[in-house]
């Protein structure tokens, strides 16, 4: 007999426990199952020992005699069903009589089958194997679910760690003549949005926001890779003050063929502080919005050009725009997830619907996301929400 070490282990054999006060019945059943491949038999003669025997033996099927001294068979069936280790084990009640009322009582207590003892050997073996296989399959399914749940828990922990890492790579807000604040929320554990900004030298300030296609770990890895490439200036033979050079080089390095068929959109701009000129280029990204000082009632200037995303096709030229930034202006760079949301009436919000939300800046930039969530009727977004505000004071 091969021992089963844990209560939730999946047995690899049929394990038959017979509980009957008559030794001759025990011997008869033992002979029926003798020499059967992959079958183990255990006999318990005392009703008071039945539950302990079941917990020790871990049966895949229990043959329970109905009439026993001290504790009757139906009471034992109820006890099996009340115990967590035996609550699902199939039970075949053995009786000396064919009585419909007794059968109904047995099934009401939780019995799976009813036999008038002792039936033909072939029938006994067929019922033992049928009931046991059903129970073993149940244990296998439960074990698979437990393993899956444990795996998902580990994966969730790893994804949360990855999300924390991605967020830790985002730059801190800035305060001063050029102040920056932002709001970021991933639609999944890890998303494909990333952004950054930093001074290239004493006069030039670079800012960018990218959106990788799709979501999940792959998109996050690519977004972090691009973000690190720009923040650490690892693009060879490129002047980071020239947006057209930056996008062209990114397009050459991050081709879809080399990066699992993933592409990304990006807005990249460089602000020259002495002249207050902002040069920018885009790759299939929504235009940045430049609000003139005191121009809350006027439409913002949209800074963007139609172009293919990074990685889609080699050898693309990206046009460059140039705009004068007046003191007190506000610039918003964002991903399409901030406004491409489904409204309760089925209509998708357009950029024109989103722009008024930025006309009067909220004291807390997170209020923009709260407003969009209210408009769509739910807090969860289907895409990453990335919104960066630059104020040129």
The string of pLDDT tens digits covering residues 75-106 is 999 999 999 999 999 999 999 888 899 999 99
d(CA 379, CA 236): 42
d(CA 285, CA 301): 15
Is the pLDDT confidence value at 367 over 50? yes
The answer to whether domain 169-392 has CATH 3.30.450.20 is no
Please tell me the predicted confidence (pLDDT) of residue 122: 93
Ranges of H-type helices in 71-209: 73-82, 100-109, 121-168
d(CA 64, CA 256): 66
Which of 5-14, 33-42, 43-52, 258-267 is the least confident region?
Answer: 5-14
How does 178-206 read in b/e, with b if 16+ C-beta sit within 10 Å? Answer: bebbbbbbbbbbbbbbbbbbeeeeeebbb
Query: Please, which pLDDT band fits residue 189 given cuts at 50, 70 and 90?
Result: low
Is the pLDDT confidence value at 49 over 90? yes
Please tell me the predicted confidence (pLDDT) of residue 296: 65
- For the segment 5-26, the average pLDDT, to the nearest whole number, is 83
Among 8, 255, 36, CA closest to 146: 8
Please tell me the predicted confidence (pLDDT) of residue 333: 98
d(CA 331, CA 322): 14
* CATH 3.60.40.10 residue spans of the chain: 169-392
Please tell me the predicted confidence (pLDDT) of residue 188: 65
Secondary element (H or E) of residue 226:
helix 217-231
184 φ/ψ angles, rounded to the nearest 5 degrees: -140, 135
DSSP 298-365: SPPEEE----PPBTSSSS-----EEEE--TTEEEEEE-GGGT--B-TTSPBPPHHHHTHHHHS--SST
d(CA 313, CA 392): 35
d(CA 58, CA 370): 55
Long-range contacts of 251-259 (CB under 8 A, 24+ apart): 251/283, 251/310, 251/311, 251/313, 251/314, 251/316, 251/318, 252/314, 253/229, 254/222, 254/225, 254/226, 254/310, 254/311, 255/311, 255/314, 256/311, 256/312, 259/222, 259/311
Contact (CB, 8 A) for 391 and 179: yes
| Residue 281 in tokens | 């280029």
- For the segment 15-27, the average pLDDT, to the nearest whole number, is 95
Please tell me the predicted confidence (pLDDT) of residue 2: 43
Q: What percent of the chain has pLDDT over 90?
A: 71
* CATH 3.40.50.2300 residue spans of the chain: 14-143
| Residue 393 in tokens | 């004071």
- pLDDT per position as a tens digit, 23-48: 999 999 999 999 899 999 999 999 99
Contact (CB, 8 A) for 191 and 159: no
Per DSSP, 87 falls in state T
Is the pLDDT confidence value at 297 over 80? no
Angle, CA of 27, 30 and 35, to the nearest 5°: 145
Q: In what order do the strands lie in the sheet with 385-392?
A: 178-185, 385-392, 329-334, 288-291, 301-303
Please tell me the predicted confidence (pLDDT) of residue 181: 96
Contact (CB, 8 A) for 274 and 211: no
CATH tag, 14-143? 3.40.50.2300
Is the pLDDT confidence value at 279 over 60? yes
Other CB atoms closer than 10 Å to residue 45's CB: what's the count?
17
Contact (CB, 8 A) for 120 and 89: no
Please tell me the predicted confidence (pLDDT) of residue 3: 42
According to DSSP, the β-strands at 91-95 and 61-65 are parallel
């Amino acid at each position: 007999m091969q021992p089963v070490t844990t209560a939730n282990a999946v047995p690899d054999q049929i394990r038959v426990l017979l509980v009957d006060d008559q030794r001759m019945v025990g011997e008869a059943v033992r002979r029926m199952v003798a020499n059967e491949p992959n079958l183990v038999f255990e006999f318990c003669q005392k009703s008071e020992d039945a539950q302990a025997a079941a917990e020790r033996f871990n049966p895949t099927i229990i043959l329970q005699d109905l009439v026993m001294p001290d504790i009757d068979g139906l009471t034992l069936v109820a006890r099996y069903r009340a115990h967590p280790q035996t609550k699902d084990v199939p039970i075949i009640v053995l009786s000396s009589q064919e009585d419909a009322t007794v059968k109904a009582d047995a099934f009401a207590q939780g019995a799976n089958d009813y036999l008038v003892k002792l039936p033909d050997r072939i029938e006994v073996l067929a019922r033992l194997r049928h009931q046991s296989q059903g129970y073993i399959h149940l244990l296998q399914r439960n074990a698979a679910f437990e393993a899956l749940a444990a795996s998902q828990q580990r994966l969730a922990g790893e994804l949360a760690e990855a999300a924390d890492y991605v967020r830790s790579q985002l730059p801190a807000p800035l305060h001063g003549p050029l102040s920056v604040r932002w709001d970021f929320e991933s639609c999944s554990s890890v998303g494909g949005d990333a952004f950054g900004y930093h001074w290239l030298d004493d006069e030039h300030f670079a800012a960018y926001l990218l959106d990788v296609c799709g979501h999940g770990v792959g998109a996050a890895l690519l977004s972090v890779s691009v973000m690190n490439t720009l923040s650490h200036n690892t693009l060879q033979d490129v002047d980071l003050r020239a947006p057209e050079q930056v996008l062209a080089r990114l397009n050459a390095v991050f081709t879809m063929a080399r990066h699992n068929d993933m592409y990304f959109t990006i807005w990249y701009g460089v602000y020259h502080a002495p002249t207050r000129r902002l040069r920018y280029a885009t790759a299939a990204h929504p235009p940045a919005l430049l609000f003139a000082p005191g121009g809350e009632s006027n439409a913002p200037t949209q800074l963007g050009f139609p172009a293919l995303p990074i990685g889609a096709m080699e050898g693309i030229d990206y046009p460059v725009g140039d705009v004068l930034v007046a003191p007190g202006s506000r610039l918003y760079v964002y991903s399409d997830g901030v406004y491409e949301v489904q409204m309760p009436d089925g209509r998708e919000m357009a950029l024109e619907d989103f722009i008024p939300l930025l006309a009067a800046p909220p004291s807390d930039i997170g209020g923009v996301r709260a407003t969009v969530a209210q408009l769509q009727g739910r807090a969860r977004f289907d895409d990453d929400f990335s919104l960066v505000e630059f104020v040129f004071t």
